[in-house]
Amino acid sequence: DKLHQFLQALPKCEHHVHIEGTISPELFFSIASKNSVSLPSDDPAFSSPAALQARYQNFSSLDDFLHYYFIGFSALINASDFEALTYDYLALAYSQNVYHCEIFFDPQAHISRNVSYHTVIAGMNAAKARAAADFPKLSVEFIPCLLRHLPVPSAHELLVELLASGHFFDGTLVGFGMSSTELGKHPSVYKSVYDAAKAAGINNFTAHYGEEGPSEYVKDALSLLSVSRIDHGRRSAEDADLIAQLAESATMLTLCPLSNVVLKGVNRIHDIPIREFLDADVRFSINSDDPAYFGGYIMENYCAVQEAFGLTVEDWEKITRGAVAGSWCSSERKEQLL
Ligand code: ES4
Ligand code: ZN
């Protein structure tokens, strides 16, 4: 109908997509086969792409999902694998009128299986170069994410390697993030890493919080890690003072509605406090997170939100303006995106 056309035509910014979360079961099986990577033999979910797809319908929690998510990494070996994965995602996002996207990736989980950071970023950069030629209205940025299920020294080691690449200062990497397991990983655990990153001159910081964890984690991430956005941040709504602080500081939440339902953070989209955030002027964007695992890309997330909340054109214009303003791109680029 008309509103669907309106949502499709909206110029979109995607701030929360993990490139490794865009590998479909079919692509996982085909790349694994090409690279002679063996699949887990003790889990019937890996008997076929269809069985794996069916397993994705039954995640019980973030950590249950993360188990499958990291097995998905095992197929990815060569720069050309990362190039294909990234280019396919960009083509799909562009078909949904994503004009600016900031893509997360997890270097530690590649380095630990002897796929170097340089292999990963070379493939992603090759895709970005092809996208610049093929998708003229699209801008693309990359954000490495620390993995919280790994020990803190591993995070410091990664930071040292990333800084040595010079990529935070030549436009290759636009910011610094943190994801994976949340419960038990209070922001204080990573303060030393964020402090070191700040001291080295990195400017843009984010972190996954308030997905499974309480609003205190969000509040403490703002004060201890000086993040300018929060990935998910859904549970911020449980604290009225925090809502006011997020609005006042123009901190952007990168919400991922379908992800929250599939990972059982909420029972249904309507339980995500989108109306509260809109009414309190909390800036947020709507994103796909791990689209191959959660049943939809950015447009499916926009549509699910529209179905649950019946937003007005004015609401969507507010969301769109906030997403542009919260993007990590130049003010000139923001002007173009509006
Ligand atoms: C993630 Cl949904 C989610 N939460 C935390 N970390 C992640 N990494 C990839 N997807
Ligand atoms: Zn995420």
DSSP states along 152-213: HHHHHHHHHHHHHHTTTTTTS---BEEES--TT--GGGGHHHHHHHHHTT---B--EESSSS
Go through the chain and tell me how many residues it has.
Answer: 338
Tokens 């996208």 sit on residue = 131
pLDDT for the residue 193: 98
Whole-prediction pTM: 0.98
The residue contributing the CA closest to ligand 1 atom 3 is 180
CATH of 2-337, one of 3.30.479.30, 1.10.3720.10, 3.40.640.10, 3.20.20.140: 3.20.20.140
pLDDT at position 1: 80
Atom of ligand 1 nearest to the CA of 145: 8
By annotation, the residues acting in catalysis are: 211
Residue ranges in the chain whose pLDDT is less than 50: none
pLDDT in tens, 88-110: 999 999 999 999 999 999 999 99
Ligand 1 centroid vs 217 CA: distance in angstroms? 16
CA dist 255 and 274 (Å) reads 9
Ligand nearest to the CA of 211: 1
Q: Cα(18) to centroid of ligand 2, in Å? A: 6
Position 3 scores a pLDDT of 87
